[in-house]
């Protein structure tokens, strides 16, 4: 999805994005050409290292759902982005979880202000 790269660039204005490879245009529908155990360990390590998790959830993904649950168990602040589309809805498991902030958007240009609000809330909550 081309907008992933745009989202990553907007998010990088606020800090390091550990999964910037997701915006790589060379990735195909099957994703990375690495063994599952490598990807699983690496991605879970990234979540452990992170201050917060931002996930684009418009396209349902078992892997992203797994990562969100792991981040929730670790108490990470979680922002889920959902691009409004006719005939699609956010999973009730995500929308009904008060530990995950779900923000709908229509265009990538809206995301910078969403990131500002989410991340400034984290700074206020820090000791």
User: What's the rounded Cα separation, in Å, for the pair 64 and 60?
Assistant: 8
Q: Which residues pair with 79 in a beta bridge?
A: 54, 101
Q: Which of 58, 108, 110 is nearest to 86 (CA)?
A: 58
Tens-place pLDDT, residues 105-123 = 999 999 999 999 999 888 6
Tens-place pLDDT, residues 65-114 = 999 999 999 999 999 999 988 788 899 999 999 999 999 999 999 999 99
Q: Which residues pair with 53 in a beta bridge?
A: 78
Tens-place pLDDT, residues 26-59 = 544 445 556 668 888 988 999 999 999 999 999 8
The total domain count for the chain is: 1
Taking the whole predicted model, whether its pTM rises above 0.85 is answered as: no
CATH of the domain at 44: 3.40.50.450
The predicted pLDDT at position 34 comes to: 63
User: What's the rounded Cα separation, in Å, for the pair 68 and 100?
Assistant: 9
Range of the domain at 53: 2-125
């Amino acid at each position: 999805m081309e907008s992933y790269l745009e989202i990553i660039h907007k998010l990088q204005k606020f800090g390091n994005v550990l999964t910037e490879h997701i915006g790589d245009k060379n990735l195909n529908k099957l994703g990375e050409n690495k063994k599952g155990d490598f990807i699983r360990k690496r991605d879970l390590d990234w979540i452990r290292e992170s201050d917060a998790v931002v996930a684009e959830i418009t396209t349902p993904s078992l892997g992203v759902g797994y990562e969100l649950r792991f981040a929730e168990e670790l108490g990470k602040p979680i922002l889920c982005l959902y691009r409004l589309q006719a005939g699609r809805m956010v999973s009730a498991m995500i929308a009904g979880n008060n530990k995950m902030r779900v923000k709908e958007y229509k265009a990538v240009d809206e995301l910078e202000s969403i990131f500002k609000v989410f991340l400034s809330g984290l700074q206020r909550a820090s000791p």
